[in-house]
Amino acid sequence: MPSAAMPTRERVAWADYAKGFCIVMVVMMHSTLGVEAAAGREGWAHAIVAFAKPFRMPDFFLISGLFLARVIDRDWITYLDRKVAHFAYFYVLWLTIQFAFKAPVFAQAHGWTGVAALYLEAFVQPFGTLWFIYLLPVFFVVTKLVRRAPPLAVWLVAAALEIAPIETGAVVVDEFAARFVYFYTGYVLAARVFALAEAAQAHPAAALGALALWAFVNHLLVAQGWSELPVVSLALGFGGAGAVVAGAALMARLDLFAPLRYCGRHSLVIYLAFFLPMAASRSALLQLGLVEDIGTIAMIVTAEGVTGALAWYWILRRTLLRFLFERPARFRLAERPALRLQPAE
């Protein structure tokens, strides 16, 4: 990939917008489904979650692969430090935190011996919302291992895995099969993705028209129950990822939604910590009964999950508890300046 295909160091505004949009959609999905499960009925937010399902995670993985060319040729120690140990640290830490909160509930069903077994199992079978940062290091390592292979051949195999109905029950196997094609595409076609963003910014009217057409097609296929069919799901994943890139590029062009860009810059913070404010606000709203509409409750819980995670980050980032969002030097594989928390990219 030519070095001119992407900026070398500075942040890319539209990429932050895209990640911000995706992380909010992820929180909205968990919030909406959690509220509906607790309330025993669906709300209007369910339609938004269903609309975003075909592209929510494909776009997140595609964006995660975009900047891999910057580091993929570094020595293995440096690479493993940045792309494996970094995420492994946060996975283990936040897995332990989540278990600390959920252990009493698990103990009622499985006993404390069962809780310990579930905790150990989470090192093989990713736990709850944390599966994304468990899987990212796998993608980083596999991509480095196959970087000398013909890209088209790797892509065709990855696409075949997505199309195939692979449902083993093992999260790593199933999600790898379903998502690796998007991550690898972000890596090998980064220049094309950047060109798409530039084209959207250069021709906003055409971009808006294309987005409207995409939204209609995506909605139609979701409403008809066809969105998860083989090949269709792959097409909708890439179509939706392209739409998010184009939409993010338009937002970055005007920079009218700076809070969304901020969410993108701190997407890993939100991903790690949203579960606690989400669960607390969901419980409070449903018990107090101040808001009756389920869709509205889901939106409030989504906002609480996002802002609550960011609030904890701001409160703790200059305290002794900053290790919750910043990997300490002693957990690095090689000596270098302290690694700050990085968005999942």
Q: Which residues of 93-107 are buried (b: 16+ CB within 10 A; e: fewer)?
A: bbbeebbeebbeebe
pLDDT, residue 13, reads 93
Angle at 97 between CA 96 and CA 100, to 5 degrees: 85
Among the listed residues 287, 214, 293, 286, the one whose alpha carbon sits nearest the alpha carbon of residue 51: 214
CA torsion angle for 55, 56, 61, 64 (degrees, to 10)? 120
Distances in Å between the Cα of 13 and the Cα atoms of 21, 142, 180 are 12, 28, 24
Cα Rg of the chain (Å, integer)? 20
Exposed (0-12), middle (13-18) or buried (19+): which is 342, by Cβ within 10 Å?
A: middle
Residue listed under structure tokens 């993929």: 72
pLDDT, residue 255, reads 86
For residue 191, give both structure tokens: 């220049």
Name the amino acid, one letter, at 316. L
Question: What is the distance between the alpha carbons of residues 109 and 73, in angstroms, rounded to a whole number?
Answer: 48
pLDDT, residue 339, reads 42
pLDDT, residue 340, reads 46
Question: What is the distance between the alpha carbons of residues 329 and 337, in angstroms, rounded to a whole number?
Answer: 8
Return per-residue pLDDT of the chain as tens, 345 residues. 333 345 545 689 999 999 999 999 999 999 999 999 999 999 999 999 999 999 999 999 999 999 999 999 999 999 999 999 999 999 999 999 998 888 888 888 888 888 899 899 999 999 888 999 999 999 999 999 999 999 999 999 999 999 998 999 999 999 999 999 999 999 999 999 999 999 999 999 999 999 999 999 999 999 999 999 999 999 999 999 999 999 999 999 988 889 999 999 999 999 999 999 999 999 999 999 888 999 999 999 999 999 999 999 999 999 999 999 999 988 988 755 444 444 334
Going from N- to C-terminal start, the domains of the chain cover: 3-331
Phi then psi dihedrals of residue 291, to 5 deg: -120, 130
Q: 245 near 193, Cβ under 8 Å?
A: yes
What ranges in 189-257 are assigned the alpha helix state H?
Answer: 190-202, 204-223, 232-254
pLDDT, residue 160, reads 97
